[in-house]
Amino acid sequence: MEAPPTYNATSLPGYSGSKLSFILHQAIDRSAERYADRPAFRFLDTTLSYAELVDRANKLARVLVDEGIKRGDRVGIFMHKSLESPVAVYGIMKAGAAYVPLDPATPASRLRKTIQHCGIRCLISHAQKQQDVLELLDAGTPLECVIGLDVIDQPGIRSLGWDCLEAAPGDRAPDSGVMQQDLAYIMYTSGSTGIPKGIMHTHASGLSYARMAAETYGINHEDRLSNHSPLHFDMSTLDYFSGPLCGACTVIIPEAYTKLPASLSTLMEKERMTIWYSVPFALIQLLLRGLLEERDLGTLRWVLFGGEPFPPKHLHALRRLWPRARFSNVYGPAEVNQCTYYHVPVNEPESDMPLPVGRVWPNAEGLVVDDKDQAVACGESGELLVRTPTMMRGYWQQPELNEQVFYRRPAAGGTSDIFYRTGDLVQDRGDGVLMFLGRKDRQVKIRGYRIELDEVESVLAAHEQVEEAAAYVVAGSEDSETIQAAVILKTRQDGITDELRQHCAQQLPWYAVPESICLRESFPRTTSGKINRRELRGHAIEGQRAEAMS
Amino acid sequence: MKAAIKDYVISELLSGKDISENDDLLLSGLVDSLGVMRLVTHLEQQYSIKIPPEDVTIEHFMNIEAISLYLEGCMN
């Protein structure tokens, strides 16, 4: 394990009394000075004002520092969405550490692997997750401290409830010495080798993004932002950073509402939301079942969507329903936060043409290159490489991968400009506006969630009965897609598909578990002997059609 | 009826994971909005009723207990 950065007597910390803003958590301090009593976050009928958020985040930071957390440490957040989520995010950063949001629905074995991989010693949680955390601790982890549960009695673990904040001083955060180049957060995403990848963002990259997004969408202190995305999904950074940067209110949407469009639209109306941000899938669900024609959502001024293509027919239906709102297609892998946008022109006629992802945004540079990193001619398809201050530092503990994902272009004075290889194939429409064409590799998006099909296959292949496995994507209902898989078994065995799905559910996030797994004697092969997944996918589609006919 | 709903939810939506009647059905990542729709379609067929979109809300679908109370209301 890499030694954590040290902050001790031999380092000279920067002056901590400055009013300059250069790190993410100063956003809430500055907004609290101007808008102390205005709401920073809302969750159902509860509110956290800026003054209260600063007070509670300072207190949590004190507790964390008392527990030995220091600059460079990673602190996990493992809980359902709540008003404690922003306290955890800002409290961890104020302690000088990086927050690592963990999917509250992640299977125990994957959670344990992530905690080990990231060297997380302290976890912030909630009583709702008591049972899951106890199981986790039983299985053995590097955890030394858990905050937020009903106090537990476990050897080697210090456990503090949320009430531990009450006794801590909240008037000022501890001097952590954290600076812009230090890590602010790490988000884990699917990795093709089976090890999830931890995308490391610094205060510099996070704050650059928060500022760019705030300016692009003109966010101000009267805005009310939707936080539809889960905390472990990169879209949440707009809600958690850009909102507070501008003194706006971020409305945290509970998980249950994201699954029931009729309840969600009621909440949107009641909260008078002005800026919406979600994956297109959520908007399609609202459109189909959200009873939108019965709701007054005239306060909406920006509808942002990203993570996957938005089928034009649904977009245009929404534009008709919300004529006063502007729509913007947001594009950028989590590794760069965001790098292009396409504001749908107000008078753009409706068509079935796919929506562009737009121009590379200011203060960034894009290159469209072929397999040899040579620029392609305008209009030809190629991989998009991006250079931007919103870019990650790299993947946690993956030196080899970090060598591959950055492209270094020789620059003046013997230095180099560093670009991130997005893996996305794009095409310049001719005016700098980019069209998204697909992926270079086997990464897919299911309802906005990023999944490496190679990871699904490696999990299936790890099962003792499986000889070989193939995973592919098949169109499902309502413009969504599903993952399906085919396996060859070592020996014939009936009724094993349920066991295989269980096996996947224990290792993979829920959205990556194949919806169906079919058993085969052999796989179709290409001439080079590779599994012909396209043909397997064709079989699956035929099978679905036959089933629908009967 | 509760037992039948529970069996369906566990086998079809939760990949066999056990859940009690009062456990929050929607907090878990396992049931998403398409899962809710599958459940609605199943209930409509099973009990020969029509569930209008305005009834597919937190109050009626938060857990198995709430679903069965709602269905009883529909059938009376």
- Looking at beta carbons, which residues of chain B come within 8 Å of A285? 33
CATH class of the domain at A50-178:
alpha beta
A256 touches chain B (CB under 8 A): yes
What is residue A102's predicted lDDT score, i.e. its pLDDT? 97
- The pairs formed by A457-461 with CB atoms below 8 angstroms and a separation of 24 or more are A457/A485, A458/A192, A458/A193, A458/A194, A459/A194, A459/A503, A459/A504, A459/A507, A459/A508, A460/A485, A460/A487, A460/A500, A460/A503, A460/A504, A460/A514, A460/A517
Residue ranges covered by each domain of chain A:
50-178, 443-549
Average pLDDT over residues A494-510: 88
Residue A106: closest CA among chain B residues belongs to which residue?
A: B29
Q: Which of A185, A4, A14, A176 is nearest to A101 (CA)?
A: A185
Distance CA A453, CA A440 (A): 13
Interchain CB distance below 8 Å, B32 and A262: no
Q: Give the minimum alpha-carbon distance from B13 to chain A in angstroms, rounded to a whole number.
A: 11
Question: A210 in helix, strand or coil?
Answer: helix
What tokens does A446 get? 């299911």
Residue A415 reports pLDDT greater than 60: yes
pLDDT greater at residue A269 or residue A478? A269
Question: A123 in helix, strand or coil?
Answer: strand
Residue A509 reports pLDDT greater than 80: yes
Residue ranges covered by each domain of chain B:
2-75
Average pLDDT over residues A245-257: 97
Strand blocks (E) in A228-291: 249-252, 275-278
What is residue A1's predicted lDDT score, i.e. its pLDDT? 45
Average pLDDT over residues A90-117: 95
Q: Give one DSSP letter per residue of A355-402, joined into a string.
A: PP-BEEPTT-EEEEE-TTSPBPPTTSEEEEEEE-TT---EETT-HHHH
Indicate the average pLDDT of chain A: 93
φ, ψ at A394 (rounded to 5°): 155, -175
Interchain CB distance below 8 Å, A260 and B57: yes
Residue B59: closest CA among chain A residues belongs to which residue?
A: A263
Question: Could you tell me which CATH number the domain at A443-549 has?
Answer: 3.30.300.30
DSSP code of residue A242: I
Among the four given CATH numbers 3.40.630.10, 3.40.630.30, 3.40.50.720, 1.10.1200.10, the one describing domain B2-75: 1.10.1200.10
Interchain CB distance below 8 Å, A498 and B58: no
Q: Compute the half-sphere exposure of residue A272: CA atoms within 13 Å on the CB side of its CA.
A: 4
- Looking at beta carbons, which residues of chain B come within 8 Å of A266? 57
Average pLDDT over residues A299-321: 95
Interchain CB distance below 8 Å, A498 and B56: no
The interface residues of chain B toward chain A in range 37-76, judged by CB-CB distance below 8 A, are 37, 53-58, 61-62
What is residue A2's predicted lDDT score, i.e. its pLDDT? 46
Distance of CA A201 to the CA centre of its chain: 12
φ, ψ at A338 (rounded to 5°): -150, 150
What is residue A373's predicted lDDT score, i.e. its pLDDT? 96
What tokens does A76 get? 């996990």
Q: Give the minimum alpha-carbon distance from A289 to chain B in angstroms, rounded to a whole number.
A: 6
Residue B38: closest CA among chain A residues belongs to which residue?
A: A477
Distance CA A461, CA A465 (A): 8
* Cβ(A356)–Cβ(A362) below 8 Å: no
For the stretch A253-270, pLDDT in tens is 999 999 999 999 999 999
Distance CA A209, CA A388 (A): 10
A258 touches chain B (CB under 8 A): yes
DSSP H or E run through B28: none
* Most confident listed range (A104-113, A226-235, A445-454, B25-34): A226-235
Confidence of residue A324 (pLDDT cuts 50, 70, 90): very high
* Cβ(A296)–Cβ(A325) below 8 Å: no
Distance CA A280, CA A329 (A): 10
- Helix ranges, A37-80 (H): 50-66
